[in-house]
A and B are shown apart, each in its own frame.
Chain A
Amino acid sequence: MAQPVRYLLVGASHAALSALQAIRMHDPDGSLTMITRDDALPYSPTVLPYVVSGRSQPARVALKDESWLASQRVELRRGRTVTAVDTTDCSVRLDDGSVLGWEKLLLATGADPIVPQVPGLAGVKFHVLRRLTDAVALRDAVAGTREAIVLGAGLIGMHAAENLVKAGVGVTIVEMQPRVLAGYFDAEASALIETTFTDAGVCLRLGRRAAAVAAAGERIQVRLDDDSELVADLLLVATGVTPVLDYLAGSGIATDRGVLVDDCMRTSAAGVWAAGDVAQARDFYAADPGARIINGILPDAVEQGRVAGQSMAGDPGLRPYEGGVPLNTYTYFDQQAVSVGRQDCGATVRSEAGAGRYLRIVMDADRLTGIFGINSPFDPGVMWEIIQRRIDLGPVRAAFLADPQRAARGVMSRTWR
């Protein structure tokens, strides 16, 4: 085995890039290799719905280019998959059989789509949307499509459905929850979003599961659990994602649903860190500091990556991870939905809906725990900071409820300006 690299980052999206930048802030010279299973330069899974819609060109979505990577002295190995990790002799095995040694290892392998156990699904051609190649394939398939079925009303499914209907395709969304975006918004907000989608001609089949899938000539037939039948030219499976963990079998690295990490993003194995969608880390809201969640969102991947990178480089400026806060932004049909924090960790102190607008504020005593809006102006980043700092809003409570954006900016100016 050749000389081990000082830093080996497996994965090349937000968590790994954030770690890389944090490492380089402290250690400009340590050898660093980044491995990605994709042939493309680093990109974000979040941009993929826009590749499908044609808004983003695949050639222009790279988060970092070759010259930047060279300037950071990064060796990027593209199109390679790690198949095994050995924490005893500190090495990984790649899919080409080669072995690469490391001193410090970051697991930032993200997540893959969950393909539900539906009879017949494996036998038909269906789409998923997680990698750039998926997005290009889906984009190219839209051209000849008249009707499409989307399994799952999460962010990926909803984004794809919007793109399809805007391209003139008849779309049916099948979702086993009784409402869309259940993991992101409450019932009222979901209802507003559903109205927009049905007004645009999208057919929503909520509270339904696919019971069976079969090929019907060139088309695909989906039977639902109420025995109704749908037929379409295109099937997109968007029923969620799960961390990529298969390569960790036998490594001894502790996993649950994801890779378990402490507040410095260290795994159970010495010299191994994990961050992003693959990591299962502290829950900001849990009373038990040992509680671990997968908070698979982009801003948190950036945050976890930074913590991991600082910890890997031994940066004394490291501020440990404070726990995951759900943060989602969702733009659909030119409307803006934003959710910061959780709805179930306090009492709703303001809630209003109507005329395409929605705002809900949830507080635990005088501390903000969540704020959710559709077409409601407030600064999500300022709210995140207020939640994370557990700022006592008692003195400004009335003003905050009346005009959260203005009051929060006041808090900002007095606290961290």
Chain B
Amino acid sequence: MPAYNTIAFRPELCNGCGDCMRTCAEVKTGSADSANARIQISADGDTLALALCRQCGDPKCVANCPAAALDKRLADGVIAWDGSKCVNCLLCTVGCAYGGIVYNAAAQHVVKCDTCAGDPACVRVCSTGALRYLTTARIYNEVGDLEDLFAPGLSGCQGCNTELVMRHALRRIGPDTVLATPPGCIPGMGSVGYNGQTGTKVPVFHPLLTNTASMLTGIRRQYRRLGRKVHAVALAGDGGAADVGFQSLSGAAERGEEILFICVDNEGYMNTGMQRSSCTPFGAWTSTTPVGERGRGKTQHAKNLPVIMMMHNCEYVATASTGFMEDLYAKLDRALAASERGFAYLHIYSPCTTGWRFPSQDNIEVARKAVESDFVLLWEFTPAAGLQLTRDVSHPVSISEYLRVLGKFRHLDDAEVHEIEAAVERNRQFITGLAQGQHPAMARLAADRADDTGARS
């Protein structure tokens, strides 16, 4: 069974305007009487309740139908109602625990959401973003058909997010790739292989931490000389990108080498025993920023590497998270295309179950919370468009909701949490300012670009 698109509801963003219901009624019945809408949002005390068909995977309404009038369509996952078969017995309403199929007095039969053939009218008119149409399913369906270019059975930790990033990214990038994986978790879990065999189905090499971008530059240039089109891709950790490997990375970005450099940021040197890196956030426990009688975790804030990369004014820079795969894939596609023209940098925030100390099944949830709390922000940059936020940052969940899930922050006191909150707020304002073009940095980048274009012409 394929994955399907779905309508999602975030009650905390809903202002109860009722536009969704009026529009649904209008589209489905020609009158704007909300009572006839297939979506019903009702207030019960502080709760905004959503009565809407969930298009269940194993739908009881279908199983309860004695007339074969309901059918879960394999193609789009919608539970379709056939009025020519329905006998109005209402047994479907007994099977639905979501108020998603109800008798409608005006229609004189049961009614339910059909997702407007993949373009739900309720979502289109929702001005607050409370209703969204999630199309992430497409990715899983498409990616499922692509070849996994890593060997099975990599030796990552249980619940490793980085393995997910590697496999997804390489599947999408495809087989015409030369891959650089500098020391870190990625070769640690087997990308460069064992006993003379590689852990990938594409050519892979293991540069020094210091020279990843330089070696990749040479390989890319050599292939171009040979007339062969290959993707030159680095999968590096934050240590290999922000600290030890920064000199060669910065150089390649400045020269505009045609490379896609992916930094998988797990906020430390996790492979070698969880030492701090310049991407480790303030207050975090690591083995070199211990917590004890005197130590309180890291005493400096993290370096914002993607912003630094943006200031190289290279072809494409973006941040992404596995909590938001659709966004990640869109950026991966754009980064890949940009790497045909110049330097592309993709920074993927990647929670580490072992080094951050949280249960292995919670990885995606942690990744999601990091974004939802604005602890990390999702944005992209191109020289032409400047920095654009790709996800709304104006309704964050509380930072403490994110911090308390993670063992590495468990020791924090209120003052330290406050210090982190303040830093997150500063970063939010800084990035929001950049996105609105108010920051002088944006003006400078635009001016550089104009000069550059002028110099070339």
Contacts and interface: CB of A to CB of B under 8 A. Distances in A.
Contacts of A82: none
B308 interface: no
B64 interface: yes
A50 B49 CA distance: 35
Interface in B155-193: none
Interface in A2-27: 14, 17-18, 21, 25
A13 B58 CA distance: 17
Contact of A382 (B58, B68, B97): B97
Contact of A302 (B60, B93, B102): B60
A381 B67 contact: no
A25 B43 CA distance: 37
B66 A298 contact: yes
Nearest to A410: B44
Given A56-B87, A413-B48, A381 B96 contact: yes
Interface in B82-103: 84-85, 87-91, 93-99, 102-103
Contacts of A385: 97
A409 B44 contact: yes
B45 interface: yes
A231 interface: no
Contact of A377 (B66, B68, B96, B102): B102
Interface string B44-87: 11011111000000101001111110000000000000001101
Contact of B108 (A334, A338, A406, A414): A334
A341 B366 CA distance: 42
B42 interface: yes
A327 to B, nearest CB: 5
A416 B97 CA distance: 9
A206 interface: no
Contacts of B11: 413
Interface string A56-81: 10001111100000000000000000
A251 interface: no
Contact of B44 (A44, A60, A407): A407
A60 B84 CA distance: 10
Contacts of A417: 49-50, 98
A413 B95 contact: no
Interface string A306-343: 00000000000000000000010101001010101000
Contact of A46 (B51, B60, B91, B102): B91
A132 B90 CA distance: 21
A276 interface: no
A102 interface: no
Interface string A31-64: 0000000000001111100100001100011111
Interface string B2-45: 00000000010000000000000000000000000000101111
A384 interface: yes
Contacts of A299: 60, 64, 91, 94-95
A301 to B, nearest CB: 9
Interface of A: 14, 17-18, 21, 25, 43-47, 50, 55-56, 60-64, 298-299, 302, 327, 329, 331, 334, 336, 338, 340, 377, 379-382, 384-385, 396, 399, 405-407, 409-414, 416-417
Given A331-B88, A384-B94, 12 more contacts: A44-B67, A45-B66, A46-B66, A379-B102, A380-B94, A381-B95, A381-B98, A382-B99, A385-B97, A409-B44, A409-B49, A409-B51
